Amino acid sequence: MLSIPQLLISILLFIVLFFGIGFILNMLLRATWVMAFLYPVVVIGIISSTNDISMWSYVFSPFQSFPVLWGVVVNLKTADIIILSSGLVGAILSGITIKMLRNRGYQMF
């Protein structure tokens, strides 16, 4: 059970973490929305770390792996969904920030 301060700190941490990662990836790869598209893979990695299924099993045996993943996703608590959603917000904000900076003439790398 998460307390309110833990939830707020987790939300802020995920926003800042994925904003930073997304910002750096957007600068280096020059693809504005790369982290927003990679974020579902990261979420699957985070969620699948709670069970015994490896990431490779989603590629090599998807018919056995995805039903287990779906069962874990359905049983996520509200706080977990909020925290993971805040990471997506951070990834989207990094894309918006890079787009605004490029429109204003800033060129990174």
The pTM is what?
0.85
C-alpha–C-alpha distance, residues 84 and 75, integer Å: 14
Q: What is the predicted pLDDT for the residue at 109?
A: 55
C-alpha–C-alpha distance, residues 104 and 13, integer Å: 28
The DSSP result for 54-86, as a single string, is: -TTHHHH-HHHHHHHHHHHHHT--HHHHHHHHH
Which residues of the chain register pLDDT less than 70? 109
